[in-house]
Amino acid sequence: MIPAPHLPTARDPLLFTPGPLTTSLAVKQAMLHDAGSWHFEFNARVAWIREELLRVAGLSRAAGWEVVLLQGSGTFGVEAVFATCVPPNGKVAVLANGAYGERAVQMLVHARIPYAVLRTPEHVPNDPLALDQLLARDPAITHVCAIHCETTSGILNPIHELGAVVRRHGRTLIVDAMSSFAGMPIDFDAAGIDYLVSSANKCVEGVPGFSFVFCRRAKLLACEGWARSLSLDLLAQLRGFEKNGQFRYTPPTHSLLAFEQALRELELEGGVAARAARYRRNHETLLTGMRTLGFAPYLPATVQSHIITAFPFPDLPGFSFDRFYRRLSDLGFIIYPGKLTQADTFRIGTIGRVFPADLGQLVHAIRRILLEMGWTPPAGAAPSLQPAIS
């Protein structure tokens, strides 16, 4: 049976996820146009996006940096770095404390690239001392891969401290900043970053369709002849942009049009600092409200990001996450299931085109559903944070 078409409503559900996430109306409207992928006007837009990304990151070509756009999700971008930038005799150390570190390991397995894994528990940040010891005893390691904000839990890993270790040992640092780029300031030079990967549908507040990789130009040019993939060859894609301004293969035209608008909105908001401040307010509103309901975050505050927060299931007989999720969806709120291996959790993202008032409404909806499930409010709990949701 063909499903019924999606009918327009007063508003789409609000996405409290780490991406895809809620976007502005103007970003959505930017996709209501067709674009010729070889047309000079479209190529000019792509060139502007690349320049603007460097500016947002605080980088420049004059300082030796490039940014390469690549079709596909952020996973494609990370895999492209491995496929292009690790030499034939190279080896990668992966710092893993969640699903995305483990995914990086799987990429290396499939690419048949030697690797080592430094694991810490899902609530414990990557350990710079352990990395220092690993690099000292294994000179075969050429690259280190770290996840800045591991969205499995929302933990923030110490990329500045890790980068200092990598730099001291003369290795190359790859940072997966999928959920953090544009949502918090990142000092590339201070962290010793050589490659950083993010994607369109995260804190820039665009839509899915492509990833982007910031590269030290000299590092990327030194990768000549190493590519293990045709379509994931970052150096070949850079040369394509430099030759004629075009993607080598069909680009995600509508996603790029949306991203152009999203970058303009980022600047109008006041840049990365202002956006990070809004996300922090969202996060603080969420924590305040959830604590009134008796919830505590899975992570301690010292390592918790303001990107996404994991909450253990409530101690409520008969609690069903599926029922909880579906009832929130009925009320217009989409959250994320948990991804931890050691605890039953659900996750709430505080990024995207959402504001503190939206988080207050979400908390009220959670309270309403818990009451439906037979929950008793803790002593002294506030009766409500927002007007009732119809």
67 contacts 50 by C-beta, under 8 angstroms = yes
Residue 343 is predicted with a pLDDT of: 87
Q: Residue 135 pLDDT more than 80? A: yes
Looking at domain 14-18+271-372, its CATH architecture is Alpha-Beta Complex (3.90)
* Predicted local confidence at residue 7, as pLDDT: 43
The pLDDT of residue 387 is above 60: no
Residue found by looking up tokens 């010891």 in the block? 133
Query: 298-303, long-range: CB within 8 Å, 24+ apart, which pairs?
Result: 298/123, 298/153, 298/154, 298/340, 298/343, 298/345, 299/123, 299/153, 299/154, 299/155, 300/123, 303/123, 303/124, 303/125, 303/155, 303/156
CB 347 within 8 A of CB 308: yes
Report the distance separating Cα 76 and Cα 333, nearest Å. Answer: 29
What would the two tokens of residue 229 be? 């993939």
What SS3 state is found at 264? helix
CB within 8 A of 356, min separation 6: which ones? 281, 282, 284, 285
- Specify the pLDDT at position 381: 55
Specify the pLDDT at position 1.
47
**What residues does CATH 3.90.1150.10 cover in the chain?**
14-18+271-372
User: For the residues 40-50, what does the mean pLDDT come to?
Assistant: 97
Q: What is the pLDDT, as a whole number, of residue 380?
A: 59
Range 25-267 classified under CATH 3.40.640.10:
yes
At 227-263, the pLDDT tens digits run 999 999 999 999 999 999 999 999 999 999 999 999 9
User: What are the start and end residues of each CATH 3.40.640.10 domain in the chain?
Assistant: 25-267
Closest to 194 in 3D by CA, of 144, 133, 154 = 144
Q: Is the pLDDT of residue 388 over 70?
A: no
pLDDT attached to residue 390: 30
pTM of the model: 0.94
Does 45 score more than 90 pLDDT?
yes
The SS3 assignment for 118 reads strand
Distance CA 80, CA 77 (A): 5
